[in-house]
Amino acid sequence: MNDTEEEMAPAVRSILAAARGRSGGDTRLSVDARSFPEAVAAAEAEGRVPVVAEVKPTSPTTDGRVESDPVDLAREMVSGGATALSVLTEPEHFGGSPDALRRVREAVDVPVLRKDFVLHEAQLDLVEADLVLLIARFLGEDLSTMVDAARARGFQPLVEVHSRAELRDALDAGAEIIGVNNRDLARLEVDLSTFERVAPDAPDDVTLLAESGVTTPDEARRMRRAGADALLIGSAIMDGDVRANTERFVRSERTRTDETNTETTQ
Ligand SMILES: O=C(O)c1ccccc1NCC(=O)[C@H](O)[C@H](O)COP(=O)(O)O
């Protein structure tokens, strides 16, 4: 791990302590993954901004909890044009579950990311998904081993970074799908300039996501101008009409008249 635990927000220390205690699956998984880079290319070809919409019932920085069925939320996101979905499986701090992911993946045909704090190889075997999140900051020297272990099971690893140094670690580990998290997991502050700082160092052949803190179409365009191939958006989609919210980001590069019409239909 790159940070000492004392440097992290109490909520993140609690998340990590819980993650360490969670077991994995009994059997090594073998996943037939839906291609995320192909889904991103298809969205671009159709004029949709590639959005990974996150089923995020709650979080340490969210008030309250959305109690809707994750499958209903997922279907709304897909009908709003989402390219892929992210489903929290972390139970204690995000209200997620492996069962929610399993049901969502059965119900939709887009790639689905398992969003969790995976620290050990056996934890990869908990539930099938098309992509699995690996956080560079938390995996430290184990990152490369975990990227290989995820690929060996058929997952597409999404390696999350927060700095240029972590981006180098991700590339050294062979990551091909990389997310730059605008949320600093040490302080839980969001700063969109994080993506703008890190993105120029990413090679063109990497599929690059801007994660966290995108709340408006203007911010979506800002991340795309800075080089984001796709946007991972949770809170701003979960807050209110999930389908309309997704559509607002998916259409954010269409004309401003289109966007205004979409926004006034909410
Ligand atoms: O979202 C949180 O409050 C949070 C707190 C502590 C660790 C991680 C956290 N979020 C994880 C995420 O990566 C986000 O859920 C995801 O990027 C979507 O972010 P947003 O669009 O800002 O909800």
Q: What's the pLDDT tens digit per position in 172-231? A: 999 999 999 999 988 999 999 999 999 999 999 999 999 999 999 999 999 999 999 999
Instruction: Judge whether 196 counts as a catalytic residue.
Output: no
**CA of residue 257 to ligand 1 center, whole Å:** 31
Reduce the DSSP state of residue 32 to 3 states and report it.
Answer: coil
What is the residue with the minimal CA distance to atom 3 of ligand 1? 61
Residue type at 205 in one-letter notation: D
CA 138/CA 29 separation, integer angstroms: 23
Does 56 qualify as catalytic in the annotation? Answer: yes
- 265 pLDDT band (50/70/90 cuts)? very low
**Type of residue at 250:** V
- Give the pLDDT band of residue 7 (cuts 50, 70, 90): confident
Residue 241 Cα to ligand 1 midpoint, Å, equals 19
Secondary structure (3-state) at 129: coil
CA distance 242 to 247: 9
Count CA atoms closer than 13 A to 137's CA, side-chain side: 21
Reported pTM: 0.94
- If you ran DSSP here, which 8-state letter would residue 153 be given? T
At 264 the pLDDT is 40
By most ligand atoms within 8 Å of CB, the mutation choice from 8, 12, 52, 59 for ligand 1 is 59
Distance between CA atoms of residues 171 and 29, nearest Å? 25
Q: How far apart are CA 72 and CA 240, in angstroms?
A: 14
176 is catalytic: no
Domain that holds residue 87: 3-265
Residues 66-115: tens digit of each pLDDT: 999 999 999 999 999 999 999 999 999 999 999 999 999 999 999 999 99
Tokens of 222: 């800002």
E strands of the chain, at which residues? 51-55, 84-88, 112-115, 131-135, 156-161, 177-181, 183-184, 189-190, 207-211, 230-233
How many other CB atoms are there within 10 angstroms of residue 99's CB atom?
A: 11
Mutation to probe ligand 1, out of 212, 246, 249 (largest number of atoms < 8 A from CB): 212
For residue 28, what are its two tokens? 């090594």
Would you put residue 200 in left (φ > 0), alpha (ψ -120 to 50) or beta? alpha
- Cβ atoms of 195 and 210 within 8 Å: the answer is yes
Between the alpha carbon of residue 1 and those of residues 8, 13, 146, 255, the distances in Å are 11, 12, 13, 44
Annotated catalytic residue within 76, 90, 128, 160? 160
Number of domains composing the chain: 1
**Domain CATH code at residue 190:** 3.20.20.70
Å from CA of 61 to ligand 1 middle:
8
85 neighbors 74 (Cβ within 8 angstroms) = yes
- Among 119, 27, 105, CA closest to 70: 105
